[in-house]
Amino acid sequence: MKKITINDLMKWKQEGRKFASVTAYDASFAQLFEQQEVPVLLVGDSLGMVLQGKPDTLPVSVEDIAYHTRCVRAGSPNSLLMADMPFMSYSTPEQACESAAELMRSGANMVKLEGGSWLAETITKLTERAVPVCAHLGLTPQSVNIFGGYKVQGRDSDHAEQMVKDAILLKNAGAQIILLECVPASLAERITKAVEVPVIGIGAGNATDGQILVMHDMFGISANYMPRFSKNYLAETGDMRTAVTKYREDVEAGVFPGQEHTFE
């Protein structure tokens, strides 16, 4: 696979070409994903749950993400590698710059932050200082204690309008990717059309430019439970390489996610 950059993703969006991405936490899987030509990888703070066995993502540290980012970069030199900024590592723009520096030095190409309009100033500061940003909206798992659980977001029309506004605001602040988690498919479609930058979805229907899955969900091996929007590609294919390729091809063909993986 050739080196993937944000320019490739922008071009694919303009061409209407869908792309797959997956989380990765170590060199061996990162290499396998690169060999199966998955263009975008994420070192997600989901590692708190799938690697550390914690009930949520809040205990994850910048050092945890930095360590796994170094591992993934070692296995996948050419993917566009995003790294999650953990809970409370970006509560001020200054702190965000320090945390992001650590992740970029570890090999990330972009950092991902959870939140709405309050992040605009932070996103501008990061991008001005050469740190590309992905803004994660919708079900933002670091806010589980505010939401009172993992629930689909943007179902009522006020909340939906707010999310469209936030996506545009954060894109204007400098965000180069928007990621939407667990939102109704029609809302994700609106946001995908409203912003010029690529939109990646998870539990957000199949109208987004890209899709992402937690790798443990794609293989059906998550320690806790299987979210309704995920699919166990290992069960269907019988081996990991074929599972990854099938997932990528299903995303590119617009076949995954299907109705059964989608909220309305």
CB-based closest residue to ligand KIV: 44
Binding site partner of 71, from Na ion, ligand KIV, none, Cβ cut-off 5-8 A by kind: none
In sequence order, the 6+-apart residues with CB closer than 8 A to the CB of 222 are 49, 50, 214, 216
**Interface residue with ligand KIV, options 4, 20, 33, 45 (CB under 6 A):** 45
16: phi > 0 → left, psi -120 to 50 → alpha, else beta; which?
A: left
Is residue 44 within the footprint of Na ion (CB under 5 A)?
yes
Instruction: Outline where 129-263 has alpha helix (H).
Output: 144-147, 157-173, 185-194, 215-218, 233-237, 240-252
CB 142 within 8 A of CB 163: no
Residue 243: alpha-carbon gap to chain centroid = 19
Binding site partner of 214, from ligand KIV, Na ion, none, Cβ cut-off 5-8 A by kind: ligand KIV
Q: How many CB atoms lie within 10 A of CB 38?
A: 26
134 vs 123: CA distance, rounded Å: 9
Give me the least distance between CB of 217 and ligand KIV, in Å please.
9
In sequence order, the 6+-apart residues with CB closer than 8 A to the CB of 126 are 93, 96, 97, 100, 111, 132, 133, 174
Binding site partner of 212, from ligand KIV, Na ion, none, Cβ cut-off 5-8 A by kind: ligand KIV
Is residue 64 within the footprint of ligand KIV (CB under 6 A)?
no
Give me the least distance between CB of 11 and Na ion, in Å please.
26
The residue range among 37-45, 62-70, 238-246, 252-260 that interacts with ligand KIV, by the rule CB under 6 A, is 37-45
Is residue 115 within the footprint of Na ion (CB under 5 A)?
no
Give me the least distance between CB of 192 and Na ion, in Å please.
20
Give me the least distance between CB of 85 and Na ion, in Å please.
9
Residues facing 112 on adjacent strands: 84, 134
Is residue 66 within the footprint of ligand KIV (CB under 6 A)?
no
41 vs 161 by CB, closer to ligand KIV: 41
**Interface residue with ligand KIV, options 34, 84, 209, 250 (CB under 6 A):** 84
Max CA separation in the chain (angstroms): 47
The residue range among 42-50, 65-73, 232-240, 256-264 that interacts with ligand KIV, by the rule CB under 6 A, is 42-50
Residues identified as active-site: 181
84 vs 102 by CB, closer to ligand KIV: 84
According to DSSP, the β-strands at 177-181 and 199-202 are parallel
According to DSSP, the β-strands at 80-84 and 133-138 are unpaired
Q: Which residues bind ligand KIV (CB under 6 A)?
A: 23, 42, 44-46, 84, 179, 181, 202, 212, 214
Give binding residues as ranges.
45-46, 84, 112, 114
Give binding residues for 3-methyl-2-oxobutanoate as ranges.
45-46, 84, 112
